């Protein structure tokens, strides 16, 4: 049932977290869904496989994965906190019409941004990471 068992096991080990059925289920969903779910959505997805899991536990697990750098957190326009599995560094395309968020990996853009801030630092701060949210609309083709 768990698709990425070995991968998840090593992720947990690297973070010093014990492998439990609950952690496996939550991380497996986060890796497989390729989406940006909120706590409710993760809970809905995993409670079918792990019947005794509570929403509070799902929240706690997501937070601990975020603290360990396995997931990142993002605010969305509906005010709900969303979680994102960090497979590779990526930016986000945010579709303003349907509230959809898509990953946008782009190494060339990463390089340009990195070089830009190498030359122009932000006073009093060290840059930890640069992530863009690019607002988009589907193009309507009238051809």
41 is a site residue for Zn ion (CB under 5 A): no
* Options 18-26, 78-86, 114-122, 124-132: segment touching Zn ion (CB under 5 A): 78-86
With binding defined as CB under 5 A, does residue 72 bind Zn ion?
no
- 88-116 burial code (b ≥16 CB/10 A, e <16): eebbbebeeeeeebeebeeeeebeebeee
Residue closer to Zn ion, measured from CB, 30 or 53? 30
Shortest approach of Zn ion to residue 20 CB, angstroms?
Answer: 25
103 forms part of the interface with Zn ion (CB under 5 A): yes
- Residue 93: which residues within 8 A CB-CB, separation 6 or more? 101, 102, 103, 104, 134, 136
Binding segment (CB under 5 A) for Zn ion, from list 3-11, 13-21, 45-53, 102-110: 102-110
Q: Segment near Zn ion (CB under 5 A), from 3-11, 38-46, 77-85, 115-123?
A: 77-85
Rounded Cα–Cα distance for residues 51 and 16 (Å): 25
Neighbouring residues of 116: CB distance < 8 A, sequence distance ≥ 6: none
Residue nearest to Zn ion (CB): 84
Encoded tokens for 124: 């009093």
The binding site for Zn ion (CB under 5 A) comprises: 84, 103
């Amino acid at each position: 049932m768990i698709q990425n068992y070995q991968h998840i096991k090593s992720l947990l080990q690297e973070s010093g977290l014990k492998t439990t059925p609950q952690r496996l289920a939550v991380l497996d969903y986060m890796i497989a869904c390729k989406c940006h779910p909120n706590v409710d959505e993760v809970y809905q997805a995993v409670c079918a496989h792990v019947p005794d899991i509570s929403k509070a536990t799902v929240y706690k697990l997501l937070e601990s994965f975020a603290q360990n750098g396995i997931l990142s957190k993002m605010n969305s326009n509906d005010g709900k906190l969303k979680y994102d599995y960090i497979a590779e560094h990526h930016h986000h395309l945010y579709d303003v019409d349907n509230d959809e968020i898509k990953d946008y990996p782009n190494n060339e853009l990463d390089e340009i941004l990195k070089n830009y801030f190498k030359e122009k630092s932000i006073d009093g701060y060290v840059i930890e990471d640069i992530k863009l949210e690019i607002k988009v609309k589907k193009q309507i083709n009238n051809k």
